[in-house]
């Protein structure tokens, strides 16, 4: 297969904590995904999104993860991963081994926590709860985890403020965007 024929990568977002990498593949309604998690790599291939197109991505991680302790859940709006770092400690400089910026990979600021922030703000429990809910793939718990992960009704009083989008210049993209109200 030539590089021109490669499948497009899905949009991905990531954040990290001292012990975990939080990764989500932003593809809706994925059917029969192929997911391989290895100590230094993650491979995904699946059909999804509004046009139900096939997407594929392989990520080579900056450092190793513990495959046994890592979890993922296929949800209606995304595929969520909690990847346990092999070594707890300093934050990774980046998610991928390659220093090249990938257009399909963005930082998930909603789940990001700075290295020097206190873990005592209850954020640690949220992650543990999210991992417990990811134990089963799907069902009512999966929906609750999806709501929590997507900043849904369970966000509560975390102090998250939706940024103002008034000054962004996004005329061309507005046509295919649904109303938020």
Q: Is 92 within a domain?
A: yes
Instruction: Give domain status of residue 160, yes or no.
Output: no
pTM above 0.95, yes or no: no
- Spatial contact of 54 and 45, defined as CB atoms under 8 Å apart: yes
* Residue 55 placed within a domain: yes
Res 53: pLDDT: 95
Q: Is 42 within the bounds of a domain?
A: yes
Could you list the pLDDT tens digit for every one of the 181 residues in the chain? 445 578 999 999 999 999 999 999 999 999 889 999 999 999 999 999 999 999 999 999 999 999 999 999 999 999 999 999 999 988 999 999 999 999 999 999 998 887 776 544 444 556 666 666 665 444 444 444 444 444 444 444 445 556 666 655 555 544 555 667 6
Specify the CATH number for the domain of residue 66.
Answer: 2.60.40.790
Domain range spanning residue 1? 1-106
Q: Quote the number of domains for the chain.
A: 1
Dist CA 11 CA 27 (whole Å): 7
181: in domain: no
Looking at residue 133, its pLDDT comes to 64
> Is 132 within a domain?
no
Specify the pLDDT at position 140. Answer: 42
pLDDT value of position 77? 94
Asked whether residue 43 is assigned to any structural domain, the reply reads yes
């Amino acid at each position: 297969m030539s590089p021109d024929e490669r499948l497009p990568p899905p949009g991905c977002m990531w954040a990290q904590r001292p012990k975990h990498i939080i990764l989500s593949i932003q593809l809706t309604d994925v059917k029969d995904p192929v997911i391989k998690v290895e100590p230094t790599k993650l491979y995904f291939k699946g059909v999804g999104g509004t046009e139900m197109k096939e997407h594929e991505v392989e990520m080579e991680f900056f450092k190793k993860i513990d495959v046994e302790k890592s979890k993922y859940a296929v949800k209606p709006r995304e595929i969520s991963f909690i990847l346990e770092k092999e070594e707890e400690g300093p934050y990774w400089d980046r998610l991928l081994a390659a220093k090249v910026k990938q257009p399909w990979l963005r930082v998930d600021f909603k789940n990001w926590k700075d290295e020097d922030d206190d873990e005592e703000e209850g954020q640690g429990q949220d992650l543990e709860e999210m991992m417990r809910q990811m134990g089963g793939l799907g069902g009512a718990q999966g929906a609750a985890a999806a709501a929590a992960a997507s900043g849904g009704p369970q966000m509560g009083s975390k102090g998250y403020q939706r940024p103002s989008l008034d000054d962004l210049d996004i005329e061309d993209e507005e046509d295919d965007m649904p109303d938020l109200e």
